[in-house]
Structure 1
Amino acid sequence: MAEPQEPLTIRLSDPGEVVAALPHLLGFRPRESLVLMSLRGSPGQRVGLTARVDLPPPEHRSQVVSGLVRSLLTDGPTAALLVVVSEATDEPATPDGWPDVLQPPPAEDLAHRDLVHEVVLALDAVDVPLRQALLVRRERWWSYDCPAACCAPEAGTPLPTGTSELAVASVVDGQVVEEERAALVRRIAPVGFLAAQAMSRACDEVGDALARRTTELGWDVLVEEGWAAVLAAVEAAGPGEHGGAGARLSDHEVARLAWGLRDHDLRDRALTLALGESAAAAEALWTELTRRSPAPLDAAPATLLAVSAWVRGGGALANVALERALRSEPSYTFAGLLRSALDACLAPAEMRRLIRQASAPLDTRW
């Protein structure tokens, strides 16, 4: 097994740099979103867990904020940073909403200040200091706690331009930033009708052939052949002159891989690919298998895709992939356990530990 690769630690000190990094932290460009970031270490300048929800309506605000704060607490933050992403217009200012009582409030105030206030109270109740509360809109950012002229609603600070350290790290890690969360869903959407029919026929043919060969050779031989097929496909999907070959897999090759991953031992071996140098290539392969495999054969690669995404911090893609797996096969135990783990915001480091444990000689099956 390849030695695990720890995710790159990126320290972001400037508020604008943090805001510009959101698409890379989330995997897509957030819109009308409430984002809460865990800050860790001393003095709390290392970004940890990043949790995002759609901006809630007033009647659901308390419930959504409470859930968001509970998620943040699983990361053991020393502080937090709040970002509201919204194109909402400014609101009439009130004296209570302006941070400096020595200055008269402006005619208008930043949007969603009531929501920010509720987050502040929720964090204060669990003794987590809020380092910054920012609003992002029109490629600019504002601080809710800044009374200076540059923070006035009609002003704002332009987002930094150029290629950031985090953007470079994301490219190295094989991450693709989508324009919206829906694009992540489309990335693994099932193939069209005609392609699906051909894929279904291939799965039936490969399944029949595997059944005959199992009778002749035994399942252990078939598992080893399946693992060899996985490794070959991952190598083909990696960088190089012929890299990214996952899309060129034939229907029968996809079917063979998908059938093989139904075996728990083979699937648990495949988990380890999320930890080594082939992680990006393996994620590309799981994406291709999820997209092309019919239900319920898509459940295993979709869950492997969720693990791969979560280990590198791609929570949005992990959730999208798990939704696909559980929709395909609601009783798939591995996906159900992972769903519970992600709902509890299991840290990527803990996920890596569990993968290593699952790949041990006396592993406990999911």
Structure 2
Amino acid sequence: MDARTGPPAPPGRIAVRLSDLGELAAALPHLLGFRPAESVVLVGLVGPGARRLGMTARADIPPVEAGRAMARLLAAKVVTGRPAGVVAVVVSEAGDAEVGDAEDGDAEQGLPHRGLMGHLCAALAEHAVPVRDVLLVRGGRWWSYDCPERCCAPGVGTALPDGVTELEVAAVAAGVVVEPDRATLAARVAPPEGLDRSAMAAVCAQVALECAERILDGGWDTVTGESWAAVLEALARCRPGAVVRLTDREVARVVWGLRDRSVRDLALQLALGEDAPAAEQLWTECTRRAPVPLDAAAATLLAVSAWVRGDGATAGIALDRALAGEPGYALARLLSEALDACLSPDELRRLIRSAAAAGR
């Protein structure tokens, strides 16, 4: 199979060739942002001949009785990317299962989770999406459930490609970091160890008073302009190569500025430009250090930055953080619903551009 992670154009996207199913199996951590464990993953294939990688959807392996329902939910998500085909992968350390009739002596060892993969194939068939292959990844090896050859027999399998792959090189160049698991990914936006919450809260309170005084003295528009200038100054400090950490005051000024919807909406557009990596770094820093509920806007912007580059896992974690801090935050709720419906990164980009054009 020959596939790509995206069309060979827009900056920031990774465009590489994956020459076979083994490379696709080995690429899952880079497609998800973390190393999946006991997971089901659907990889959409798009474009002429289904030769490019499209949307990737993942779920935990469910209990046997919930397999059919989970398969339908996961299939419904991946088909929103309009795939021409799908590769279904189960990542599990489960041992081989007994298949056949044990009472008649016809039982033999078979690959685990075959019933679950059957549910996935049936769910995708309901959407008229062909399944190109069904894989098991276990213990550094991979199997095809449909392969009759000895290499796919239980207990055999094929070793995952070793060495540095083209996708790994491209991912590093794009700043993608693969975490060991989803919990570690979530820790990226958790408050840093040693954070003095009371000191940060005190600085935020002081900045709030200063902003209120500036509104009384100079008017709302003046403070809006100052808030946007504060965002841009902090953004410059987060560009690649910068080594100076943002001060508590700088973080406080940014998060208070983002409470102004017009400033936040301007900040949304940063996810689409040359400063997108710096913006994502800025929103990450503000999300980690800002007190509740001032973290909601920054966490929502972090979700947007992650989603437009195709990182749905980080986007979901960031939106969870935003809604935990401020359950009624409207933009976070709207984006969470869109993410659940698998709004594509391209569609989100179009929405941001349309909103920006309407606001001019």
> What TM bracket, shorter-length normalisation?
over 0.9
Number of equivalenced pairs:
349
One-letter amino acid of the counterpart of residue 332, structure 2: A
One-letter amino acid of the counterpart of residue 221, structure 1: T
Matched, 1:346 2:343: yes
What secondary structure sits across from 2:49 in the alignment? coil
- TM-score (norm. length: structure 2): 0.93
1:169 equivalent in structure 2: 170
Runs of 4+ displaced beyond 6 Å: none
In 2: Cα distance, 1:218 partner to 1:10 partner: 51
Listed as ranges, the matches of 1:119-198 within 5 Å are: 119-191=120-192, 195-198=196-199
2:4 equivalent in structure 1: none
2:314 aligned residue (313, 317, 334): 317
1:71–1:44 CA distance, 2 compared to 1 (3 A): same
2:96 equivalent in structure 1: 90
Matched, 1:275 2:272: yes
1:46 equivalent in structure 2: 52
1:110–1:148 CA distance, 2 compared to 1 (3 A): same
1:107–1:4 CA distance, 2 compared to 1 (3 A): closer
Query: RMSD of the TM alignment (CA)?
Result: 1.9
Matched, 1:22 2:28: yes
- TM-score (norm. length: structure 1): 0.91
What secondary structure sits across from 1:160 in the alignment? coil
Partner deviation per Cα, 1:91-146 (whole Å, 9 max, x = no partner): 11338xxxxxxxxx883111111111111111122211100100001111111011
Would you say the 8 A contact 1:37–1:51 is kept in 2?
A: yes
Listed as ranges, the matches of 1:43-122 within 5 Å are: 43-94=49-100, 107-122=108-123
2:233 equivalent in structure 1: 232
2:334 aligned residue (333, 337, 340): 337
One-letter amino acid of the counterpart of residue 172, structure 2: V
1:295 equivalent in structure 2: 292
What is the deviation of 1:162?
Answer: 2.2
**Structure 1 unmatched runs, 5+:** 96-104
In 1: Cα distance, 2:142 partner to 2:194 partner: 45
**Structure 2 unmatched runs, 5+:** 1-8
One-letter amino acid of the counterpart of residue 142, structure 1: W
Partner deviation per Cα, 1:170-218 (whole Å, 9 max, x = no partner): 2222221110000121111124576111100000000001101111111
In 2: Cα distance, 1:106 partner to 1:28 partner: 37
Would you say the 8 A contact 1:306–1:318 is kept in 2?
A: yes
One-letter amino acid of the counterpart of residue 44, structure 1: A
What secondary structure sits across from 2:42 in the alignment? strand
What secondary structure sits across from 2:48 in the alignment? coil
One-letter amino acid of the counterpart of residue 32, structure 1: E
What secondary structure sits across from 1:360 in the alignment? helix
Would you say the 8 A contact 2:12–2:174 is kept in 1?
A: no
In 2: Cα distance, 1:172 partner to 1:361 partner: 34
2:254 equivalent in structure 1: 257
Partner deviation per Cα, 1:39-77 (whole Å, 9 max, x = no partner): 111211211000000000012111111100100111111
What is the deviation of 1:272?
Answer: 1.1
